[in-house]
Amino acid sequence: MAALMAATSAVGPACAQGAQTTPVRLPSLGETASQDLPVGTERRLGEQIMREARRDPEYLDDPVLLAYLKSVWDPLVKAARQRGNIDADTDTVFAWEPFLVRDRSVNAFALPGGYVGVHLGLIAITSTTDQLASVLAHELSHVTQRHIARSIAPQERASLVAIAAMILGILAASKSGNVDMANAAIMGGQGAAIQGQLNFSRDVEREADRVGFDLLGLAGYAPSGMAAMFEKLDVASRLNDSGGFPYLRSHPLTTDRISEARNRTLLTGNVPAVPTLRHALMQARARVLMAEGAQALQRFSGSTASTAPIDRIAALYAGALAASLINEPARAELQSSQALQLAESSGLHEAAAVHDLVLLQAQVRLVRGDTAAALQALDSLPAATGDRPALLIRAQAALDLRRRDAAAATPALRASAEALQIWLVDNSHDPIAWDLLAATHEALGAKLRSMRAAAEARAALGDLSGAIDRLRAAQNATRSPGGQDFIEASVIDARMRQITALRRQLVLEARGDSRGREPGDEPPPQ
């Protein structure tokens, strides 16, 4: 993603937080800055950046891979709460949300407000869950220690939109290495100051390492994953960087950092990080999703020279996924079935990995056009609350079934609409779910509900103007014959007021106008 290709790890000298077994907190690098930049302001700044990021083509919402990323991330956030690193101020205000970037480079970065981006290239290079968790723990610690607030606090008087735009421009410039682009993105002393603040600080990196290392063990990961990740990055960068390791430029691997990670690992008993089948599958998925073009996807044949079951299953998984993306349904079905059979017969009793293999089987069957078989695969999965990938695949299957047999699809569509609505009560920022709900309501003949869901999908992506346009069209539809659904009309009117007020607030912040007037508004009475 052009705007998000380099880490935004903040900077600044300070003393570090040592490891504690109880949530007794020492002064952290960000505490002074947190007094200057309130958590609410930092969250709004993060939301400004994410509104742009979600509309970027390289922002990736792959439900299966994102579910895995969250499964690694959530225990770290829980551990940070246990240690007291996440306090009452930031707990409910920050998003604590990881997201994916479709990019081959090895990178991860923290943004204001608790957002952490992960490139596919980083997932592809890690060989264990613990290595990936070590990077996430490090980036999470930048957020919990308020390092980002420290970098932004001196610019608190500037508008949030201006700061967000400069940060995005700086990240794009640092990714491209283009001096002209950097000069265009960073204008004036204010931009130069932020650029200086975004450069790394050894003190900041050491603190994030120490705090992150403590989180690993508490979250159930092997702490040796951090040293192993450092060693992997160090070897890879010395052999051939070629611009593919921006993480090493924003988080330099100094000798001290590597040796400290190794020493901490020895002190904790040096429990080795064990490869798991699920991580191997998600590593394979990341490699396929970051491949560019049919020729690159053809290289995932499903075969491997390795005799290890994990490697063979991962190769079959990658081959099946690649085949489905280049419209080779027969090969995709064969290899997905082979992968599932091998997993079940190899003694690798990983329920989560088998679950992901079944999801792949359902996906490739949908691509093949065998909707009934796809639903059969989904029905074999245990019912689980919060299983977003299965929910979305089932919704798509119900819509595909309607195109083949409208009458038979009605019960599946109704069940899908109900399930999506329940999911969206607690996950209202899910644009894919809103889009599927809009299509499902349209298939069921619920025009107003479909139009509102489509508006919510645009709002979830940060396109407030698009959401308002769709809500306005829905308001017009309520005045037409057959549009007299008074409950839905009331909901549409309420959402129109809320989203219009939010857009007005964003204009306020962009202009630095405390009165919150948009261009063309009449001035308030004196």
What ranges do the domains of the chain cover? 31-267, 275-382
pLDDT attached to residue 24: 41
- The CA-atom distances, in angstroms, between 85 and each of 26, 79, 97 are 10, 9, 16
Residue pair 336/320 in contact by the 8 Å Cβ criterion:
yes
Q: How confident is the model at residue 8 (pLDDT cuts 50, 70, 90)?
A: very low
Q: How confident is the model at residue 288 (pLDDT cuts 50, 70, 90)?
A: very high
pLDDT, tens digit, 9 for 90 and up, residues 322-362: 999 999 999 999 999 999 999 989 888 799 999 999 999 99
DSSP 153: G
Q: How far apart are CA 249 and CA 156, in angstroms?
A: 27
Q: How confident is the model at residue 269 (pLDDT cuts 50, 70, 90)?
A: confident
pLDDT, tens digit, 9 for 90 and up, residues 424-456: 999 999 999 999 999 999 999 999 999 999 999
Give 231: exposed, middle or buried? Use CB within 10 Å, 0-12, 13-18, 19+. Answer: middle
Q: Residue 177: is its pLDDT beyond 50?
A: no
The chain-wide mean pLDDT, for the chain, equals: 82
More confident residue, 35 or 86: 86
Q: How confident is the model at residue 407 (pLDDT cuts 50, 70, 90)?
A: confident
Strands 115-119 and 97-101: parallel
pLDDT, tens digit, 9 for 90 and up, residues 53-93: 888 888 999 999 999 999 999 999 999 999 999 999 899 99
Q: Which segment, 17-21, 142-146, 151-155, is predicted with the most confidence on average? A: 142-146
Residues in the chain: 526
Q: Residue 16: is its pLDDT beyond 90?
A: no
Q: How confident is the model at residue 246 (pLDDT cuts 50, 70, 90)?
A: low
What is the value of pTM for the model shown? 0.84
Angle in degrees, 0-180, between the axes of helices 486-511 and 160-176, rounded to the nearest 10: 80
pLDDT attached to residue 406: 83
pLDDT attached to residue 160: 59
Secondary structure string (H, E, C) spanning 58-124: CEECCHHHHHHHHHHHHHHHHHHHHCCCCCHHHHCCCCCEEEEECCCCCCEEEECCCEEEEEHHHHH
Q: Which segment, 256-270, 296-310, 483-497, is predicted with the most confidence on average? A: 296-310
CATH code of 275-382, in short, is: 1.25.40
